[in-house]
Amino acid sequence: MDEAQLAQVESLCETLYTGQPSSTGEKITREEAQSRLLSLQSSASFIPQCQYILDRSKSQYALLVASNSLTELITSHWNNFTIAQRIDIRNYVLGYLANNGPTLQDFVTLSLIKLVCRITKLGWFDDATHRELTEDVTKFLQATVDHCVLGLKILNQLVDELNIPTSGRTLTQHRKTSVSFRDLCLFKVFQLGLTTLKQLQTGAISTANQRQEVVLGEQALGLTVRCLNFDFIGTNPDESTEDVGTIQAPTNWRPVLQDPGTIELLLDFYANTEPPRSNKAMEAVILICSVRRSLFPSDKEREAFLGRVMTGIRELLKNQTGLQHQDNYHQFCRLLGRLKANYQLSELVKTEGYLEWLDLAASFTTQSIRNWQYSTNSIHYLLALWGRLVAAVPYVRPETGAKGHVQALENHVLNVVECYVDSMLGSVETVLRSDGALEDPLEDDGSLMEQLDRLPTICRFQYSSVANILVAKFDPLLEKYQELMGHLVTSSTDSAPTNVAQQVAILEGQLTWLTYIVGSIVGGHSWSSSRIGNGEELLDASLSKRVLQLAQGIDYRLTNSNGVGKADSKLEVALLYYFQNFRRVYMFMWEQSSTGSSSISTMGSMKLESVPSTKQKVYQSMFESMGLGDHTVVANLIVTKIGKNLKFWPDEHDIVAKTLNLLTDMAGGYSSSKLLLTLDTVKYLASHHTHEEFPFLNVPSNARHRTTFHAILVRLLLSPGGEDKLGLTLDKFMEPIVGTMSQLGALDSTHLRSEAARMPLIGVFRDLRGVAMSLHNRRTFGMLFDILEPRHLPLLSKVADLWYDQPDVMISLLRFMHEFCHNKANRVNFDQSSPNGILLFRTTSDVVCAFGRRILATAAPESGDMYKMRYKGMSIALSVLNSALGGNYVCFGVFALYNDPALDNALDISLKMALSIPLEHVIAYPKLSKSVFGFIEIIYRNHIKMTMALDTSVFMQLMNAVHEGLQTSDAQISSMCANSIDHLATFYYENSGKDKPEVHNMNKHLAAQPNLFSSLTATLFNLLLFGAPQNHWAVMRPMLSLMLASESSFTAYKDHLMSTQDSANQAKLNEAFNKLLADVVRSLESANRDRFTQKLTAFRVSTRGFLTL
């Protein structure tokens, strides 16, 4: 590289990162600049050019590109370098950082640090020099303040690099390096972080200005947290969760972790700094508090440690230190929530000042809950603390530890619950009067559910008192609400006077909170609990009665006002939450005789005896105490509410979706589904499933819900005894749908393509799809087929021909066809003498061909969403054909035998569709690529004769697609492509030399493209040896068939690979190939394939260690 080339690189970098035009005057887009610069990462020969840029360039962006390119080259061409060269590159970059680091931009520094750490990781076992990076960095820490910052950044990145797996390396390699780093260096790194913090605390770094001290503090605290978060024992913790697991620190860390000075240092940093340093310090405290129990040699040491933590927390709570900052406050709540998770209550109560700590924690919790607008995302940690404390009470003797601790806990828990209820009820008016300035906690679904998940344990600890609190809140609100509803009657809330509307809004908000809280508590009832039968079900009944009365009142107003008098949608969603929890707890024992004394069926195989079990008594007591009637009446009330929601809330997608989820869950249970069949409301739903009765079916955006609704009803109808109990047959149920199809079928082309037909078409196909989804056996599928064939199936291809360019109609039709053709549970299984399988395939062929011909004759849109407008329909059409071709219900040979063009037409049109889409677009859209490569795999598997008869140019286009698909990162796609290659190679191996037209065609293709097998062999072996691990199983399957089909291709690849290696590697590689080929039989039997696959795995493992690219 010379100065002119350097200037060109710098210009390209400026264009890439700033969008500025090239200084050479050449017009280059960012994409072109990126493409040119990426060439620096293409070969190890560009390493000197990258070094030249680092040495000579003044452009920070050029330095970044050079550093990133070096990292990529080192990672992908690691085996190309000798151990000495690797050390030279490492020393060069470290020297570069030492000389230039403080003057570089942060992004360049971080990129170079990443490069050093990557080299260290990859070369960890090559030479002791790599394992001495920590000592080398110590020199940085002892130099200037800027160098000290740089050293801490290197250590931070080093811990990350050794903790996080690198793509392309096996987990075994990663763990081996990671464990060695843990044992040799991690503790020293941790100590360096703490030492820096001590120096900052004592002011020992006198040369540092205030800004530098802040940066040093951030880096040292970050390093401390990273070290404690290290994956010590290879558990690969889930980083998406906020909860900290147990920290499995090694035993040699004990002196530092047990040292009182460590926690004091971190708490001091927390108290005397601002975020983000203070919250990082608190995070480190949380991690230290989470170290494993066995780290402490005895309970005495552990208790002393816990005592120090409790004292520190007490001081912070007393002084409210740093809690005015949101980040600090959140981390402190995490610490409180974590404390009980890592220590047993029996240990906590023995600590000095436990009762004072409990008082302070309770007052902090109530204060936080009262200030809910600042702490919404943190409240659930505090609730988790109280939940864990009360859950452990049964396991602690009352005389253990501080005197009266159980009574103190009972009082505090009651205060916390009462405060929570009061604050949440009070939040409604506060939010309403803020006029949009405050976020409504009811609308923050994530935090709301986190809090509700933790309430049952806390509330059931003092359930009787809590229930009294809730009843005392619920009754006046319910009474006042019913009174207001009596005045409004049939008018809507919006039309009421402003003060009345505001009163109603506040009442509904407060009832929403109470409904959620009651739903959460009722959902926390445990049938396996030791407390079952002690009267808790009576409290559940008391609370449930009020919620159900509220639901009845809302329904009554809705019905009388014909949907005008609606409650707040949030209250409706809360009722659905309550119903879900009530259903889950109290609706698993359904079959009860009218006398209520005999059989109640449970989930298990329970012996039915004349004397009711405890569970049965609790169950009966619950419904008797509720006083609304037996379980049938309550179930009918819930299903009636479901019906009203579907009838009167057509435009509220959230309500419709959650209502249908509730109905799905109720219909999915064995016992509850049997009960549903006896309810009048369900009979009404099943016989009036039209948009006239349920307007939500006619809302375009609810199209998906139509499918769900019909799937539920058909599942109930076709369940054992369903038709008798509902007084309805499938034919009768289908009448509205069939009637619409008859009307549509009678229209001429012009009227069928008119806008008036759009919604009926979408609706009928969505409904049919829902029906087809619930058909799980041969009998029921045959019933639907007989209803549609022969009168209504011709409509499908007619619609495909006319509406091909309208995605909403075509997607509905094609999704129905996909479900209808899908042979799940072998349901598409007609009699031997039945032509139905062929007729079904003909219909499928007609639809795919009608759509395919028209869409192929239409030019692709130049703008807009290409996937939605064109590719989505093609993708589903190919999936439809894939289902039909792979369904095993058609003997495809008869089509050619009787000159029926249905199969040839479908394959021809589908192939044209697949090849009409540019390959880069196919790979860019995952669903589309699965359909296209799935189709290619099926034609290679089952229709090889047709595939071989294609023109050579088309055949090679297919093979090129397979070749590209094989190299994608998606394991499913590469697997399909590998199977396609396997089918082709197997066919050629087994039929080569035979006098068959398809063999002659194959030879013709090979004559035109003689390197076909050799390029496939090379790609497969390269993927195996150098590719990502997720593709290995896929690429190994076709290797044996390919080697047998073309031994010369394998020999050529072997010779080529040997020629790229030095003499030492050639000997090792030759030995590996000899082991691979030993005992391989010339056969494609399953056992031989499996044996060869195992050998390939061993071959890959043995060669990856020394092969150079």
* Per-residue pLDDT reduced to its tens digit, 137-166: 999 999 899 999 999 999 999 999 999 988
So what's the pLDDT on residue 588?
64
Instruction: Check pLDDT > 60 for residue 423.
Output: yes
So what's the pLDDT on residue 602?
39
Residue 603 tokens read as: 């989930």
Quick one: CA torsion of 575, 581, 586, 589, rounded to 10 degrees? 120
For residues 342 and 590, which has the higher predicted lDDT (pLDDT)? 342
Give per-residue pLDDT as tens, 181-217: 999 999 999 999 999 999 999 988 888 888 999 999 9
End-to-end CA distance of the chain: 23
Contact 494, 564 (CB under 8 A): no
Nearest to 552 by CA among 474, 457, 636: 636
Rounded Cα distance between 716 and 639, Å, is 14
**What number is the average pLDDT over the span 829-838?**
91
Among 118-132, 413-427, 487-501, the minimum mean pLDDT is found in 487-501
Among 276-280, 529-533, 770-774, the minimum mean pLDDT is found in 529-533
Nearest to 669 by CA among 730, 734, 580: 580
- One-letter amino acid at 98 equals A
Name every residue whose Cβ is closer than 8 Å to that of residue 124 and which is 6 or more positions away in sequence: 130, 131, 177, 180, 181
User: pLDDT band at 236, cuts 50/70/90?
Assistant: low
Rounded Cα distance between 379 and 9, Å, is 53
So what's the pLDDT on residue 243?
58
Where are the alpha helices (H) located in 273-344, listed in sequence order? 277-289, 299-319, 326-342
**What number is the average pLDDT over the span 724-735?**
93
- One-letter amino acid at 893 equals G
- One-letter amino acid at 668 equals G
For residues 348 and 234, which has the higher predicted lDDT (pLDDT)? 348
Contact 767, 819 (CB under 8 A): no
Give per-residue pLDDT as tens, 218-235: 999 999 999 999 999 887
Give per-residue pLDDT as tens, 642-694: 999 999 999 999 999 999 999 999 998 777 888 899 899 999 999 999 988 99
So what's the pLDDT on residue 146?
92
So what's the pLDDT on residue 604?
39
So what's the pLDDT on residue 488?
77
For residues 564 and 844, which has the higher predicted lDDT (pLDDT)? 844
Q: What are phi and psi of 275, to 5 degrees?
A: -60, 150
User: pLDDT band at 485, cuts 50/70/90?
Assistant: confident
Q: In the chain, what is the greatest distance between 2 CA atoms, to the nearest angstrom?
A: 98
**What number is the average pLDDT over the span 415-425?**
95
**What number is the average pLDDT over the span 1055-1080?**
88
**What number is the average pLDDT over the span 743-753?**
95
Q: Residue 1074, SS3?
A: helix
Cis bond before residue 276 (omega within 30° of 0): yes
So what's the pLDDT on residue 599?
37
Quick one: CA torsion of 295, 296, 299, 304, rounded to 10 degrees? -130
Nearest to 804 by CA among 768, 766, 852, 843: 852
- One-letter amino acid at 492 equals S
Rounded Cα distance between 524 and 1028, Å, is 46
Instruction: Check pLDDT > 70 for residue 409.
Output: yes
Instruction: Check pLDDT > 60 for residue 596.
Output: no
Which helix (H) or strand (E) segment holds residue 797: the answer is helix 794-802
User: pLDDT band at 603, cuts 50/70/90?
Assistant: very low
So what's the pLDDT on residue 347?
87
Which of 298-302, 465-469, 493-497, 1076-1080 tops mean pLDDT? 465-469
Rounded Cα distance between 27 and 331, Å, is 51
pLDDT > 70: percent of the chain: 95
Rounded Cα distance between 1099 and 913, Å, is 40
- Tokens 């009811």 locate to 442
Rounded Cα distance between 871 and 926, Å, is 11
Q: What DSSP state is assigned to residue 46?
A: G
User: pLDDT band at 838, cuts 50/70/90?
Assistant: very high
**What number is the average pLDDT over the span 923-944?**
95
User: How much is the mean pLDDT over the chain?
Assistant: 89
User: pLDDT band at 531, cuts 50/70/90?
Assistant: low
